[in-house]
Structure 1
């Protein structure tokens, strides 16, 4: 392929724009905020699991306490009934039986109330644990929101830069021969770089030094020949800095 040396040199300007665009795309994919957001998301997920377990513990204790309250209430009702029967009087045997039952009910009520008190203390600790994990979830959510805000700001800045670079690329490419741009774009799509300056006898893309027949090939090629590197296949741009 043939192209004026000046047009070939302008490929370096096009490559500079495309390199900048590629760097911006890489920057967008690798924003530190993305890793932070992912980390906080994992943390929140784990905290949500912990919150569920803490809530289940509170619910279980509430259910057990409710059951004890019902049992205690039944004992109280039975004691009230026995007290009414004692007040009404009766035979010695009946009175002794009621007194014995009252003593048993008192012991039962005390045992139930002690057990309920222990559960209530456990519930207080469980509620505190639940409140703690809920606070940590809120704190993590704030960190996530802040990281997302910074991510969005960074993306907005990158978008502005990309739009500016893309706007400058169009006119630059339009001023170059169509076949040259087509070849350049094909190589860039395949390798990430379409053209590079030959500097001090080295390919600017793969950094391999030219020597022997390859060096003679590049040296002897007419100035308007579009020369490609034998190693990386990029377009080699020759200037006074090329050392040829």
Structure 2
């Protein structure tokens, strides 16, 4: 294939734009915020599980405390009733004595229940502290996630703006070059990791960085300036300039 040497040199401008676009795409994919958000998502999931367990512990204690309070109320009501009967002093002496024994038993039972309730309330205080702690960690992690999301969105907007600028510059440049040259360039770029045209500098291919053999240098030196030459090793287009060292 042949193309005007100036058009070949302009391929380097096109390659520079395409390289910049590829770098922007790579930057978008590898933003550190992506990895951090994934980490934060896992942390939040684990914290939510921890919060559920802590909430269940508090709820269970609340339920047990409420049950004890009902039992204590029943004992108190029974004591009040027996105390009223004892105060009235009506009934046989044996019955009054039995009431006194029952009152003593109910008092012991009330003390046991109140001690158990106090212990559960202390456990609940500890469980509530654990729940408050994990809730605070969730709030802090969510805040960090929001900050990272904002940073990511700002960066993505910057990348999109730069891509739009590069793309708008690429279209007229590509349209101004020979169609067959651009077609060859695009095909090579697709098969060569995005790099299709490189400067031949000091006898070295700018694509694969390998030094040309003496035979290859002679072949390229003898070639028509309009001939589109390609590296024997990487098959990329080598653009010749005064720096080529031929």
Q: State TM-score, norm by structure 2.
A: 0.94
Q: Structure 1 CA distance, aligned partners of 2:215 and 2:67?
A: 95
Q: Structure 1 CA distance, aligned partners of 2:182 and 2:83?
A: 105
Show the counterpart of 1:93: 94
Number of equivalent positions: 244
Q: Structure 2 CA distance, aligned partners of 1:7 and 1:26?
A: 28
Q: 201, 213, 216: which one pairs with 1:214?
A: 216
Q: Structure 2 CA distance, aligned partners of 1:167 and 1:36?
A: 32
Show the counterpart of 1:17: 17
Q: Structure 2 CA distance, aligned partners of 1:230 and 1:13?
A: 23
Moved more, 153-162 or 212-221: 212-221
Q: CA deviation at 1:12?
A: 0.2
Q: Structure 2 CA distance, aligned partners of 1:159 and 1:135?
A: 36
- Tell me the SS of whatever aligns to 2:44: helix
Q: How does 1:62-101 map to 2 (within 5 A)?
A: 62-88=62-88, 89-101=90-102
Show the counterpart of 1:237: 239
Show the counterpart of 1:160: 161
Q: How does 1:217-228 map to 2 (within 5 A)?
A: 217-228=219-230
Q: Structure 1 CA distance, aligned partners of 2:61 and 2:219?
A: 86
Q: CA deviation at 1:81?
A: 2.3
Show the counterpart of 1:33: 33
Q: State TM-score, norm by structure 1.
A: 0.95
Show the counterpart of 2:170: 169
Q: Which runs of 4+ in 1 moved over 6 A?
A: none
Show the counterpart of 1:186: 187
Q: CA deviation at 1:11?
A: 0.3
Q: Which structure 1 residue ranges, 5 or more long, are not aligned?
A: none
- Cα deviation 1:51-85 (Å, max 9, x = unaligned): 11111111111111111111111211221222233
Q: Structure 2 CA distance, aligned partners of 1:156 and 1:201?
A: 42
Show the counterpart of 1:197: 199
- Tell me the SS of whatever aligns to 2:233: coil
Q: Which structure 2 residue ranges, 5 or more long, are not aligned?
A: none
Q: CA deviation at 1:37?
A: 2.0
